[in-house]
Amino acid sequence: MNMTDIPFGTTNWSEIERTEHKGDTGVAYWHTRQFGDIRVRMVEYSPGYAADHWCSKGHILLCLEGELHTELPDGRKFVLTPGVSYQVADKAEPHRSSTEVGAKLFIVD
């Protein structure tokens, strides 16, 4: 990732419009900023959320609150709790996430 043409700025995430994205179960709420090719999001998953697809997009993801379960097609499973992150490249390893208790994430992709 090459970060260019982004002047210094701050973001008050509570002022960024929230969009709703339904999962197989539950819902994700995204607050999204776009900086050229870089998308930055504050995402909140409701309790009981389960993604409705396998994602092949690369991310750097940090868990801020709650607990996020992420699985890979080969059966590996990972649990993110506050302060734990993961990173994966575009088209590297599909992944799918869910949460029983809800989660709040900061994501760069």
List Cβ neighbours of 18 (8 Å cut-off, separation of 6 or more). 29, 30, 31
Residues shown for the chain: 109
* Chain segment 9-51, per-residue pLDDT in tens: 999 999 999 999 999 999 999 999 999 989 999 999 999 999 9
State the total domains in the chain.
1
pTM of the model: 0.92
- Rounded to whole angstroms, the Cα distance separating 64 from 104 reads 5
Which CATH number does the domain housing residue 59 bear? 2.60.120.10
- Look at residue 40 and tell me if it is in a domain: yes
- Look at residue 13 and tell me if it is in a domain: no
- Look at residue 28 and tell me if it is in a domain: no
Query: Confidence class of residue 5 from pLDDT cuts 50, 70 and 90?
Result: confident
Q: Please name the amino acid found at residue 91.
A: K
- pLDDT score of 4 more than 90: no
Q: Which domain holds residue 50?
A: 34-108
Q: How far apart are the first and last CA of the chain?
A: 9
- Rounded to whole angstroms, the Cα distance separating 51 from 33 reads 21
* Chain segment 80-103, per-residue pLDDT in tens: 999 999 999 999 999 999 999 999
pLDDT value at residue 88: 96
- Look at residue 16 and tell me if it is in a domain: no
